[in-house]
Amino acid sequence: MSRQHNNTTAESTWSVARIWNVVERRMGKRPSWFQVQVAEALYLRQKDVVGISATGTGKTLSFWMPLIMALEDGKDKMTIVITPLNILGQQNVADLEAAGIPAIAVSADKATPEIFKDIERGMYRVVVVNPEIIMQHRGEFETMWNKPAFMSRLLNITVDEGHVVKQWGAFRPEYNYLGQIRSMIPTTVPFYVASATLPTPTLQYVMEHL
């Protein structure tokens, strides 16, 4: 989409076959072509991505693939996933931990100072969070955006179920302001918006707001 940065060295070492093999070894699944394209765009070219794919086609695996590639390259990286439902975050964490990737779903009952200290220290490779927590005014994430050590580890931000940015903004207003994160983080951190359904008006809205 709108932003692109050079990552020539990494790109030259990542063939499609290598992506297939590494992801299958780490996650036990052979990625499809669209998942490979998403990973290449996010990790190798640091481009913003909108991924539209039907339910059950493996969007969730594509969330983790750029991180897996970064870890395979020996980089100290982590990713944030913004999800509308806490149960989705818990499912993601269970799958990741089974694959040996430390992860945490930060719901209201877990949003303690100790948890955020652990996140800032890099104890988790994946942080799954809802929009209310990540957009909390003067909250923990707002503080971490200003800490270079934390930001140097942030690989990308994924917005799961991206259609709700438009559809749920009326009763979950934090969705209306997610785009403000763009002004608080480096331009080298791409956004990935994933959804099973993004009709043209919704897609245009999401692109404009994020």
The pTM of the full predicted model, rounded to 2 decimals, is: 0.92
Q: Where are the beta strands (DSSP E) in the chain?
A: 49-52, 78-82, 103-106, 126-129, 154-159, 191-195
Q: In angstroms, rounded to a whole number, what is the distance separating the alpha carbons of residues 46 and 43? A: 5
Q: Is the pLDDT score of 1 beyond 50?
A: no
Mean pLDDT over residues 26-53, rounded?
A: 95
Q: Where are the beta strands (DSSP E) in 68-168?
A: 78-82, 103-106, 126-129, 154-159
Confidence of residue 169 (pLDDT cuts 50, 70, 90): confident
Taking every pair of Cα atoms in the chain, the longest distance, rounded to a whole number of angstroms, is 46
Which amino acid is located at 27 in the chain?
A: M
Calculate the average pLDDT of the chain.
91
